[in-house]
Amino acid sequence: MKLFSVSKAVHVPKFKPAEHFSNIVEVDAPKNMVYSLSQQHNLKCVPTVKRGDRVLVNQILGEGENNSVVPVYSSVSGTVKQITTKVDLLGNKVDVVLVENDELYEKMPRDTFNYETMDFKALQDAIKQLGLIETQNLSNRKRGMQLSFKEKAKNVLLNAQESGLYGQVDGYLYETEKEDFLRGIDLLKHLYPEANITLLSTADADSVIGFTDLLKNTGVRLISKLPTQFYHDMNLASRDVFGDFAMKDTVVIDAFLLPAVARGLMDNRLTHYQLMLVNGEAVATPGIYKVLSGTTLDVVMEKAGVTDPFRIVAGNILSGDAVFSTDAPINRGIREILFLKENEVSKEEEVNCIKCGRCADVCPMGLHPYELNALVIMRDFESFYENRGGMCVECGRCSYVCPSKRHLLQSFKTAKKVKR
Ligand code: SF4
Ligand code: SF4
């Protein structure tokens, strides 16, 4: 039996064999939509609407003051009821726009453009305007998508790896969103005509078969086995696939967002939904859920028949976060939510480190987590950084393998917040 912990000290006693899901469950948008203006790590938008305004699908509700913040769009038509502050899934206070959905889904027309004639700067801005959030820069640090795209690259890496411990979510890329995924590959070939394009999938047999079939005749190389198992961090993925840690010549694209980029640039269509895995023993109907942005978690819970969860984890089980509030909006970029029963969560307590070194063996950054943890416990944050603690990519592997259930990941997340 393996034990592992996630942020806020959730331990899960069972290693669950990954299930493969391809059924998509559509969640009807509720009457009361809640749009968070803080979708990106440490960055927020300011509202561009006011109470009483009628808004349409595609209308911007909030925009960033800084160029790296992507806009927040309305996914429904309706009336702005309030602009207020609310607690988000993880217990942080965020500004939100509350919209009463009139269920007419009237759309705001968008200006047309031709991406083929755009210069790089205009193209990057068009990608930013798609409002997409990617999560592959340091596991939970969500950022706006435009930053992934560089003007020139020798290598393009499409990262389709997810933790997969509670089920693979990549099936929708080669099943449901197949056509737009292939159009996305055509787009990448247009943007980077000289580059080698590689797709990084999990080693799951269904995924390898699905992607092999999808990529035939595209010239895209498939890689599914690498020294470390899951790539939440793009620098790490770039290092292990192309030996280019500084990402000088490499562009890493979040494969899960590629179909939305294709629709956005080739058809000028925004994607207002996200697809995410809903699983755990408290869920009556596990599967991949299609959820409109602005939907709160309790709406998804009702649809999935969630009863009496003991713990809820947003994000993958290795590095996700314990959920604090369920009437909060699901941030864009979350691709997995687990509802765990008490029997799935270990009651075993953290005990002393036995200096077995397993955490150091699995750390993809070559860190010594047991030493770093001791420094954090002593609140010696200076030494934490001198010992490269700031390089931790928050993958959670050290906590996962630790036989003493040390809360290593939690400790490093805390230390990095103190420094900031
Ligand atoms: S210290 Fe732990 S969480 Fe950080 S990179 Fe290493 S294994 Fe991952
Ligand atoms: S895996 Fe756990 S017990 Fe082993 S050295 Fe690391 S912190 Fe200590």
> Per residue in 353-412, pLDDT tens?
999 998 898 887 889 999 999 999 999 999 999 999 988 877 777 887 888 889 898 889
* Statement to judge: residues 156 and 247 lie in one domain: yes
* Statement to judge: residues 60 and 136 lie in one domain: no
Contact status, residue 352 vs residue 373, Cβ threshold 8 Å: no
The answer to whether residue 216 is domain-embedded is: yes
> Per residue in 161-173, pLDDT tens?
765 667 777 888 8
Cβ 361 under 6 angstroms from ligand 2: no
Domain final residue pick, 221, 249, 266: 266
Band of residue 7 on the pLDDT scale cut at 50, 70, 90: very low
- List the one residue out of 357, 367, 368 whose CA is nearest residue 401: 357
| Whether the predicted pLDDT of 182 surpasses 90 | yes
The answer to whether residue 5 is domain-embedded is: no
Domain extent at residue 414: 349-419
* Statement to judge: residues 128 and 245 lie in one domain: yes
Task: State the closest ligand 1 atom to the C-alpha of 389, by its place in the atom list counted from 1.
Answer: 1
Catalogue the E-assigned strands of 139-282. 143-144, 155-159, 196-200, 221-223, 250-254, 273-279
The bound ligand whose nearest atom lies closest to the alpha carbon of 407 is 2
Helix axes 178-191, 258-266, angle to 10 degrees: 70
> Per residue in 208-259, pLDDT tens?
999 999 999 999 999 987 766 555 567 777 888 888 877 789 988 889 999 9
* Statement to judge: residues 137 and 235 lie in one domain: yes
As a whole number of angstroms, the longest Cα–Cα distance in the chain is 62
* Statement to judge: residues 259 and 119 lie in one domain: yes
The answer to whether residue 4 is domain-embedded is: no
Cβ 407 under 6 angstroms from ligand 2: no
Domain final residue pick, 294, 312, 343: 343
Which tokens in the block code for residue 170? 């990549």
- List the one residue out of 51, 49, 52, 95 whose CA is nearest residue 74: 49
Task: State the closest ligand 1 atom to the C-alpha of 319, by its place in the atom list counted from 1.
Answer: 3
Residue 345 CA: distances (Å) to CA of 66, 388, 396: 41, 31, 17
The answer to whether residue 376 is domain-embedded is: yes
How far is 408 from 371, CA to CA, in rounded Å? 10
* Mean of per-residue pLDDT scores for the chain: 86
- List the one residue out of 162, 16, 37 whose CA is nearest residue 93: 37
The answer to whether residue 125 is domain-embedded is: yes
pTM value?
A: 0.85
* Statement to judge: residues 282 and 168 lie in one domain: no
Domain final residue pick, 293, 327, 343: 343
Task: State the closest ligand 2 atom to the C-alpha of 398, by its place in the atom list counted from 1.
Answer: 1
Cβ 376 under 6 angstroms from ligand 2: no
Q: How far is the CA of 359 from the centre of ligand 2 (A)?
A: 6
Q: Into how many domains does the chain fold?
A: 3
Residues of the chain with pLDDT > 70, as a percent, come to 88
* Statement to judge: residues 378 and 353 lie in one domain: yes
Q: Which among 406, 408, 409, 410 is the best mutation to test ligand 2's pocket, defined by most ligand atoms within 8 Å of the CB?
A: 406
Catalogue the E-assigned strands of 320-411. 321-322, 336-340
The answer to whether residue 2 is domain-embedded is: no
How far is 69 from 43, CA to CA, in rounded Å? 7
* Statement to judge: residues 188 and 84 lie in one domain: no
Q: How far is the CA of 358 from the centre of ligand 2 (A)?
A: 6
| Whether the predicted pLDDT of 311 surpasses 80 | yes
The answer to whether residue 1 is domain-embedded is: no
**What's the first-to-final CA gap in the chain, in angstroms?**
37
Cβ 401 under 6 angstroms from ligand 1: no
* Statement to judge: residues 126 and 253 lie in one domain: yes
Q: How far is the CA of 205 from the centre of ligand 1 (A)?
A: 27
- CA-based torsion, 164, 166, 168, 169: positive or negative: negative
The bound ligand whose nearest atom lies closest to the alpha carbon of 371 is 2
